[in-house]
Amino acid sequence: MKYQLKEFNRNIPDEELLEDIKRIAGKLGANSLSSREYNDNGGRYTSGTIGIRFGSWNKALKKAGLQLILQREVSIEELHKNLEHVWIDLGRQPVFRDMQKSSSKYSVRHYMSKFGTWRNALKAFIEYINSEDTIDNDIKTSKEATSEPTPAAELLFKHKTKRFPSERLKVQVLMRDGNRCRLCGITVTGENIHFDHVTPWSKGGETTLENLQVLCDVHNLAKSNLEY
Ligand SMILES: [Zn+2]
C-alpha cells in the first residue's frame, strides 16, 4: 500500500468520521473496532483525530453503533450470562455470526480470547448450564419461602421451586426442545417464546426441566385461558 499522509482536517463532519469507522469495521466483518485496527486497516483519518472530536474512542464507537472496546477483562461468568441472554433471545444455539448482530453485549472476540475458539466457548457454556449448582438456582431458599407473599396456590401446594424459571433453566429447556412450540411445532424466538408449566403452577406444578415446555403465543394464551 502506498503511504499517504493522513489528512488533518477540522472541517470533516462528524457523520463522515463515523461512516469511516463503520466502513473499516465492515471491512473486517467486526461489530467493534479498536483504534489500532482502525489505523492499521486504511482508516482515512487518525484514531486520535476521531477520539478528540468525540471525547474518546469508545464514544465514537457508541455513536457509530458499534460495540465498545472494554478496558477491563470480562469474567467467564459474565460471558456465560451474556450467552444465556443471546440463546434465549434466539431460541437456539448462537452461531459465530449471531454474536455480531444479535443482542449480544460482547463480541465474539471476547469469547475467543477467553476460550481460544468459539467452539470451546460453547462447550464451556454447555458445561456451565448443565452443572450441578444450576439446579439450586430455581429452588427457593428458606428465606424466600417465608418472606414471599402467599397466593392461594401457595397455600394449597408447598412449592419447592420459584415461580419463574432462571435463565439457565430456560436455556436447558431450549437445549432439550429447541425453539418450537410443543403443541404446534412453530418456531418461536425472543419474546414469543413462552416457558410453560406442563402441570400448571396453580395446580402444584414445579418449575423444573421436566415440568417446563416451550409454547408459542397462541398456545400459551389458549392454555392459560383453559386454566381459569
Ligand atoms: Zn403453538
Find the 194 Cα to ligand 1 centroid distance in Å. 10
Decide: residue 121, CB within 10 A, 0-12 exposed, 13-18 middle, 19+ buried. buried
- Backbone phi, psi, residue 210, to 5°: -65, -30
Find the 193 Cα to ligand 1 centroid distance in Å. 10
The predicted-structure confidence for 102-144, as pLDDT tens digits, reads as follows 688 888 888 988 899 999 999 999 999 988 765 667 888 766 6
Give the predicted TM-score (pTM) of the model. 0.64
pLDDT attached to residue 7: 55
Q: Residue 94 corresponds to which cell in the numbers above?
A: 448462537
Find the 178 Cα to ligand 1 centroid distance in Å. 13
Distance CA 32, CA 67 (A): 5
**Contacts for 17 with CB less than 8 Å, ≥ 6 apart:** 45, 49, 50, 53, 54, 60
- pLDDT tier at 150, thresholds 50, 70, 90: low
213, 177 Cβ separation under 8 angstroms: yes
